[in-house]
Amino acid sequence: MTSRSARVGWLDCSSGVSGDMMLGALDDLGALDGLPAALASLSDLHVSCVGAPTERAGLAARQVTVTAAGAQPPRRLADVTALLVTAAVPAPVRDRALQVFDRLADAEAAVHGVARDEVHFHEVGAVDAIVDVLGVCLGVHALELDRLVVSPVALGGGSVTTEHGELPVPGPAVLRLLAASALEAHGGPVDVELATPTGVALLAALATGVGPMPGLRVSGIGVGAGSRDLPGRPNVLRFVVGTATEDVGSESGWLLTEANVDDLDPRLWPTVLAALLDAGAADAWLTPIVMKKGRPAHTVSILTDDASATRVREVLFRESSTIGVRTTTVGKHVLDRSWIEVDVDGQPVRVKVATLGGDVMNAAPEWEDVAAAARALGRPAKVVLSAAIAATSAALG
C-alpha cells in the first residue's frame, strides 16, 4: 500500500487528450528513453519518432512526430496483438498496451455492431496509434507511479471527418470507452475534436483515480502539444509528477467507487458483492436510497487499492446492471492488526486484535470460525461466540 511518500501523477485533460499529446508530455518528462529500442524491436513497422520543442498559445510544449517507412496494412485486433507481443518491453508494459487495444476493439465493435475480432481499426489502427499506445505505456511504467489521477476530460464539440463519413463529437467510440470506465468528461469548450479514442482508451487503462490535482510536492512537469494550435487557448496536456503529501499515519491510494442502481433484481446483490470481494475489493456494501420519481434503489460502494481498482470495476459492470460509476480518491486510517487463536471446547477460533500504540482497542472473533465451531459442537452460534469472547479476554489479560 502506498504512503505519504507515494509517487503520484496527475493528468490535466482540460484541453482534451490524444495519444500523441500523452507521448509528448512523457517525452518532456524524460520518460521515453526506452522507446527507440522498443520500436526497433517491431521490425514489421519500420517506424521512428522524434520529439521537438514547440508552443501552443504561448506555452512551451513538446511534440512527438511518428514517421513510418511505407504504407501500412489495415489491422485487426489479432494483427495488433501479434505485433505487440514481439516488442522488447517489460511484461507489464506489453500487457497494458494489449489492454488498451482490447478496450478499443470492444468500443469499435459495439459502435459498428460487429464481433471484436472483426474490427478494422482504421484511424485507431494506424501505425502512429500503435506507437502512441506502446510509448505511453512504456513512459508511464518508467515513471514508477503509485497512483495516476486524471482530471475530467474535455471532449470538444462539432463534428469530425472519418472513414465512415462525418461524425458528431464526441465520437461514438469515445462515448463507449467512457461508459466502460470510471473517467469523467464534459463537452466543449470549443467545437473541435479534443479527445480521441486512443487517448481515452489510454486514460481508461492507466488511471487509478479521477479528480482535481491531489496534494503533491511537485517534482516534474511534462507538457504535450496537440496537433492543432487553437486560438486563445493552449491545446496541451500537462502531466504533473510528485510525491503525495497526505498526513502521517494515513494510507493513500484507496479508491471509493460507487454507482446508483435501480433496475437489478435484489436477489442478485449477494452474488455481486461476493464477486467484488473475490476480485480484490477491500470492502463492498449497499445503501438503500430513493431516486427520482420515488424509485427505490441501492448505492453500491466499493473500497479498493490501486492495484485491484480496474479489475473490480470490470466485475461491477459485468455482474450488475450499472452503466457508469463514479470514483473518488480517499484516505484510510487503520489500527495495527494481528491474529491470535483461542480454544472453545476443542474447536479453534481465530481472533483479530486491533491495537494503538500497543494498547488493545478491539478484539473480534472471526465469524466463519465461530460458525464452524458451532456446527461441530452442535451449539447455537451465539453461545460459541460468547465463549470465544470470554476466551479472548482471558488470553489478552
Check residue 251 and give its pLDDT.
52
Residues 2 and 228: their CA atoms lie apart, in Å, by 38
Residues 136 and 140: their CA atoms lie apart, in Å, by 6
CB hemisphere CA count around 35 (13 angstroms): 27
Residues 249 and 247: their CA atoms lie apart, in Å, by 6
Helix axes 127-143, 77-84, angle to 10 degrees: 50
Closest CA relative to residue 323, chosen from 112, 186, 210, 180: 180
Q: What is the length of the chain?
A: 397
Computed from CA positions of residues 203, 209, 210, 214, in that sequence, does the dihedral angle turn out positive or negative?
negative
DSSP letter assigned to residue 215: S
Q: Which residues of the chain have pLDDT under 70?
A: 1-5, 122-125, 246-253
Domain ranges of the chain: 7-244, 251-333, 336-396
Residues 168 and 152: their CA atoms lie apart, in Å, by 20
Q: What are phi and psi of 152, to 5 degrees?
A: -55, 140
175: Cβ contacts below 8 Å, ≥ 6 apart: none
Check residue 68 and give its pLDDT.
83
Residues 34 and 239: their CA atoms lie apart, in Å, by 19
Which residue is associated with the grid cell 482497542?
361
Closest CA relative to residue 156, chosen from 175, 142, 140: 175
393: Cβ contacts below 8 Å, ≥ 6 apart: 363
Rg (CA), the chain: 25
- Please list the residues that pair with 297 across neighbouring strands: 289
Residues 198 and 21: their CA atoms lie apart, in Å, by 11
Residue 264's H or E segment, with its range, is none
Check residue 250 and give its pLDDT.
46
Architecture of domain 251-333: 2-Layer Sandwich (3.30)
Helices (H), 207-358: 269-278, 306-319
CB atoms within 10 A of CB 246: 19
For residue 152, CA distances in Å to 10, 146, 304 come to 11, 20, 21
DSSP 3-state of 146? coil
Q: What is the pLDDT of residues 91-100, one digit of tens each?
A: 989 999 999 9
Check residue 48 and give its pLDDT.
85
Q: How far is C-alpha 118 from the chain's CA centre?
A: 27
Q: What is the pLDDT of residues 55-68, one digit of tens each?
A: 999 999 999 998 88
Rounded (10°) CA dihedral 162, 165, 166, 170: -50
